[in-house]
Amino acid sequence: MSREQRFSLYVILSIISRGRALGGLGQLREAKLEIQLGLDEARSKGVGFMLPMMNSWLADMHARSGKNETALSIVEQVLANGHLEKFLSPSRHESDSVIVRGHGRMERAGHGADGLFRC
């Protein structure tokens, strides 16, 4: 229905939400593919709203599948691209703080992903 009515944001959110649900069912490979598909669709349609959240879900799926470096890279890209500035306007100090916390979580998680993106 969203496609028929050309509500591209809802189409994108449906794709990404499906990916997140697949991740919740433990189907991490499929989840990452679906979320990436939604992100690609968002970029092709010029949808920038909610990109940090969408990227955080992709990072979470990578972390759950043990790819902590990839997950951290996604988070760092979001911060470096300034996507959060529209919503949070973090100072350089605050951005550095988020990165440091991410590195600390990776160290605590060891080779597993438990706790990587949990506050």
Residues 22-51: tens digit of each pLDDT: 999 999 999 999 999 999 999 888 877 788
Summarised one tens digit per residue, pLDDT across range 61-89 is: 999 999 999 999 999 988 887 655 554 44
pTM of the model: 0.64
Number of helices (H), then strands (E), belonging to the chain: the values are 5, 0
CA atoms within 13 A on the CB side of 73: 5
Q: What is the pLDDT of residue 20?
A: 94
- What DSSP element (H or E) covers 40? helix 28-45
Q: Going from the N-terminus, what domains does the chain have, and what CATH number goes with each?
A: 8-109 (1.25.40)
